[in-house]
Chain A
Amino acid sequence: MNNKAILAALKKNAMLIVLVLVYLFFLILTKGSIFSPSSFAELINQNAYVYILGAGMLMCMLTGGNIDLSCGAFVCLLGAFGGVFMIVQGLGTGVSIALMLLIGVVYGCVLGYLIAYVHIPPWIATLAGYLAFRGLGTSILSANSKTGSLAPFPVDFQNIFYGRVFPTEKGVFNWPCFLFGVAAAALVVLVIFTTRKNRLSKGYEADTVKAAAVKSGLGAAVILLVMSRLALDGGIPTTLLWVAGIVLIYSFITSKTTVGRHFYVVGGNMEAARLSGVNTRRIMFLAYLNMAILTAIATFTVIARSQSAYADVGKNFEMDAISACVVGGVSASGGAGTVLGMVVGATLIGVINLGMSLISLDANYQRVVKGFVLLAAVVFDILSKKRQK
């Protein structure tokens, strides 16, 4: 009985186990350098856009396997605008951020309108953006600079999206960072146990005390581990705050709010949702408006990290975001998937990328490995779920 429960829990978290195995694999292969403090910071900074775009893509995919192909190209276009605002025109950082967000909102509204109210298939509506935006962005860049790239972005902009909170020297233990981790770990434990209590008081099925203890223990341990490593690399990266904020907000929206549940309902059965009074068009509209806004935020983190806007920025971002979702168990036909699953998927892809670059694997084989790991991870997930049934 107890063994069965453990086995079921393992199967339910198949992708998490894959992540641990892949991490251990690279830990051995890189002789521990993937465990170094700078690797942790790198993992977060390098993949911030995957988490942010993944959250947006998740909302789109929930509505019925719809995706946004244009987000990578839109990052390029927004980056070009950002370069023009901040570097060419010399506008203030706050104004520029507001203007870029505004452009995101405008595009999101147009896209959402076309998809939700004109019923253009999302595939096509966003394929148009995929084709158009990179061309537009490139021509803006080449009109404003001889080299085709705009750099550097103002220091305050970089500090907001690619800086450290309470920075200290590398190697010096950063206490604010660690204390933040302790607070976050405590919060996780608290949330897991209050959820359990609430469920029990309402008569729902809930974790056993043991399961809740294991869950919260593992969660807290991972958080403390990550934060104590980051504490040795100069403090909390601001990208982590952005990513953590977005992940928390979207997991709250998808699991606790009415509008969040509507996304699942629409993806489960659009017609039934409409007949039960859900404004399905509004949900579709929101999904794509939201995606465009998150794309703007992802752009901030990306151009702050690269310190420049260039023609190739954002290439294949859409693929990364979609892979993170699908690897994380989001259904390709909609209606199922969680933010936490997406986070696991994005981290898995991030660990694979980082591990391969740490062992300086030939770039060509990196692609091959990435392809096969992607396939293997999804196959493993599908097969483990099949046996469960």
Chain B
Amino acid sequence: MSENRAVSPGKKSLFQDFKAGEFFQKYTMIIALVVVTIVFSLWPGKNGLILQPANVTGLIAENAYVFVLATGMLMCILTGGNIDLSVGSVVCFTAAIGCVMMASGVNMWLTVLAMLAIGLAIGAFQGFWIAKIQVPAFIATLAGMYAFRGFSNVVLNGYRVDITNQQFLDLFGNGKTSFVPDYIRQAMPGLDSVFTKDNAFLSALIGQNFVAKFNVTCMCIGIVAALVFVLIKVRKILVQKKLGISQSIPGQIISTVIIAALILWVTFKLSCYRGFPNVLIWTILVLGIYAYITTKTAIGRHLYAVGGNEKATALSGVKTRNVYWFAYANIGLLAGLAGILTAGRAKGIDPVYGEGYEMDAIASCFIGGASAYGGTGKVSGMIIGAILMGVINKGMIIVGVDANYQKVVKGIVLLIAVMFDVLSKRQKR
């Protein structure tokens, strides 16, 4: 730090106002994620297994529903620590209806629309009681949790229903064909002779086992995405500088570089396996839309305002009741989507599917820094929380931790994560 101070005051060094403590505090969960990943990848006997392309792909496919549900849950939590206990049952119910519809030969797109519409209707129904009659969210959604689990059983008659519609499985599932095809290599057959084991440079870069099947399209998506991300961030930093908003610029640069590298790394791993999973498209779409809604739109800001101080918000002219209705209708819609993804991955639906999903979603939000009292929390934080949980789950399975102890570890991690958060925020004051 002393070196930086020596720079002439006219030319401020970029790193002059870099504070290590502040950086660690702000990015606690990212650092935790990196540490946990390193620990699992260095595990004796399981060297690097968690970083294998198949496992990285699996991690995304298995946790798609968590991302989707946690996004909806975040909106509810923002309004004041309210939660939705019914999502697990609603996931099962919408999936059950969808599976039964497809089994009786209904068109796939019609089914998908119906599932989303049913999810939305359930959400709006529960939201009505919560927003208009002021039934505590806990009770209204607890009632939904009981009722829709029962309805799912009724719809399914207590038995599993399979999905045979290949188009549905391709779009929302996790099978061999549920990936974006490698359009670039299809268009340029000449590339096949480039991506061979004999090409010393490429096989060193990609790895001997993966080079022949390397998915160029997926890698290109990753490169473009990373570039776009960096451009957006650079523009944001420049605007901040211009306006003189004091934000830790070095911290932002470091985090931008890390995230861009992460995007490249993940898409590289995906390219080595089967390419870009279709479920990732839906997940990114949802995350992107809601990151936009929470940060850039009026209704998004209203969610924060209601959670911060409901009375003040109402007095400033916001129809707070409608904000609640929005949050709960919205999570219903997303539960419908999660139902689609769950059914697609499992190639069918069992009456017990979706149990405990609400806790996964809630835990992701809280680990990701959402306040249990509402008003604070970001989509980006929730993403990190969900990934952290996913990595821990996957890591424990790979390492071979007994299923019972997996739950214990999950509980302890949750507690430590939040304790760390609470303590570091307290020191700040």
**Chain A residues packing against B (C-beta within 8 Å):** 114, 118-121, 123-125, 127-136, 138-139, 142, 319, 322-323, 326-327, 332, 363-368, 370-372, 374-375, 378-379, 382-383
Find A374's partner among B139, B362, B412, B423 (CB 8 Å cutoff). Answer: B139
Within the complex, the shortest CB–CB distance from B219 to chain A, in Å, comes to: 38
In contact, A120 and B402 (Cβ under 8 angstroms): no
**B residues less than 8 Å from A133 (CB atoms):** 411
In contact, A319 and B363 (Cβ under 8 angstroms): no
Q: Give the docked Cα–Cα distance between A340 and B129 (Å).
A: 26
In contact, B129 and A379 (Cβ under 8 angstroms): yes
B120-146 residues at the A interface, CB under 8 angstroms? 129, 133-136, 138-140, 142-146
Q: Give the docked Cα–Cα distance between A326 and B414 (Å).
A: 27
In contact, B359 and A322 (Cβ under 8 angstroms): no
Between A132, A133, A332, A379, the greatest number of chain B beta carbons within 10 A of the residue's beta carbon is seen for A132
In contact, B412 and A128 (Cβ under 8 angstroms): yes
In contact, B418 and A120 (Cβ under 8 angstroms): yes
Q: Give the docked Cα–Cα distance between A323 and B419 (Å).
A: 28
> With A367-B149, A371-B146, A372-B147 as given contacts, are A135 and B408 in contact (CB-CB < 8 Å)?
yes
B140-184 residues at the A interface, CB under 8 angstroms? 140, 142-151, 153-154, 158
**B residues less than 8 Å from A120 (CB atoms):** 415, 418-419, 422
Q: Give the docked Cα–Cα distance between A384 and B134 (Å).
A: 13
> With A135-B406, A332-B139 as given contacts, are A382 and B411 in contact (CB-CB < 8 Å)?
no
Q: Give the docked Cα–Cα distance between A109 and B129 (Å).
A: 38
Find A371's partner among B145, B403, B410 (CB 8 Å cutoff). Answer: B145
Within the complex, the shortest CB–CB distance from B71 to chain A, in Å, comes to: 19
Top 6 closest A-B pairs, CB basis? A132-B411, A371-B147, A135-B407, A367-B150, A131-B411, A371-B146
**A residues less than 8 Å from B373 (CB atoms):** 121
Q: Give the docked Cα–Cα distance between A364 and B406 (Å).
A: 30
* 13 chain-A/chain-B pairs, Cβ below 8 angstroms: A121-B372, A127-B359, A127-B362, A127-B414, A128-B415, A135-B408, A139-B405, A142-B404, A322-B142, A367-B153, A374-B139, A379-B133, A382-B134
Find A375's partner among B140, B423, B426 (CB 8 Å cutoff). Answer: B140
Between B147, B148, B154, B359, the greatest number of chain A beta carbons within 10 A of the residue's beta carbon is seen for B147
In contact, B139 and A378 (Cβ under 8 angstroms): yes
In contact, A119 and B422 (Cβ under 8 angstroms): yes
In contact, B363 and A332 (Cβ under 8 angstroms): no
In contact, A119 and B426 (Cβ under 8 angstroms): yes
Excluding A323-B142, A365-B150, 10 further A-B contacts by CB distance (< 8 Å) are A114-B415, A114-B419, A118-B422, A120-B422, A121-B372, A130-B359, A130-B411, A363-B150, A374-B142, A382-B133
Within the complex, the shortest CB–CB distance from A313 to chain B, in Å, comes to: 15
**B residues less than 8 Å from A124 (CB atoms):** 366, 372, 414-415, 418
> With A120-B418, A123-B81, A371-B147 as given contacts, are A136 and B139 in contact (CB-CB < 8 Å)?
no
Q: Give the docked Cα–Cα distance between A375 and B426 (Å).
A: 39
> With A119-B422, A124-B418, A332-B136 as given contacts, are A372 and B411 in contact (CB-CB < 8 Å)?
no
**B residues less than 8 Å from A138 (CB atoms):** 404
Interface residue tally for chain B (C-beta within 8 Å)? 46
In contact, B139 and A139 (Cβ under 8 angstroms): no
Q: Give the docked Cα–Cα distance between A379 and B412 (Å).
A: 38
B387-429 CB mask vs A (1 if < 8 Å, else 0) is: 0000000000000001111111011101100110011001000
Find B143's partner among A114, A364, A372, A383 (CB 8 Å cutoff). Answer: A372
In contact, B362 and A139 (Cβ under 8 angstroms): no
Find B135's partner among A128, A130, A379 (CB 8 Å cutoff). Answer: A379
**A319 nearest CB neighbor, chain B only:** B142
**A residues less than 8 Å from B153 (CB atoms):** 363-364, 367
Q: Give the docked Cα–Cα distance between A135 and B147 (Å).
A: 27
In contact, B404 and A378 (Cβ under 8 angstroms): no
Q: Give the docked Cα–Cα distance between A319 and B141 (Å).
A: 11
In contact, B405 and A123 (Cβ under 8 angstroms): no
Between B145, B415, B422, the greatest number of chain A beta carbons within 10 A of the residue's beta carbon is seen for B415
**B149 nearest CB neighbor, chain A only:** A367
Find A132's partner among B143, B372, B402, B410 (CB 8 Å cutoff). Answer: B410
Q: Give the docked Cα–Cα distance between A245 and B113 (Å).
A: 55
> With A120-B422, A123-B372, A326-B138 as given contacts, are A139 and B150 in contact (CB-CB < 8 Å)?
no
**A residues less than 8 Å from B412 (CB atoms):** 128, 132
Q: Give the docked Cα–Cα distance between A235 and B138 (Å).
A: 39
**A residues less than 8 Å from B363 (CB atoms):** 127, 131
Within the complex, the shortest CB–CB distance from B359 to chain A, in Å, comes to: 7
B343-371 residues at the A interface, CB under 8 angstroms? 359, 362-363, 366, 371
**B residues less than 8 Å from A372 (CB atoms):** 143, 147
Within the complex, the shortest CB–CB distance from B389 to chain A, in Å, comes to: 11
Q: Give the docked Cα–Cα distance between A245 and B134 (Å).
A: 35
Find B404's partner among A128, A135, A326 (CB 8 Å cutoff). Answer: A135
**B residues less than 8 Å from A383 (CB atoms):** 133
**A residues less than 8 Å from B129 (CB atoms):** 375, 379
**A residues less than 8 Å from B362 (CB atoms):** 127
> With A127-B362, A135-B405 as given contacts, are A326 and B150 in contact (CB-CB < 8 Å)?
no
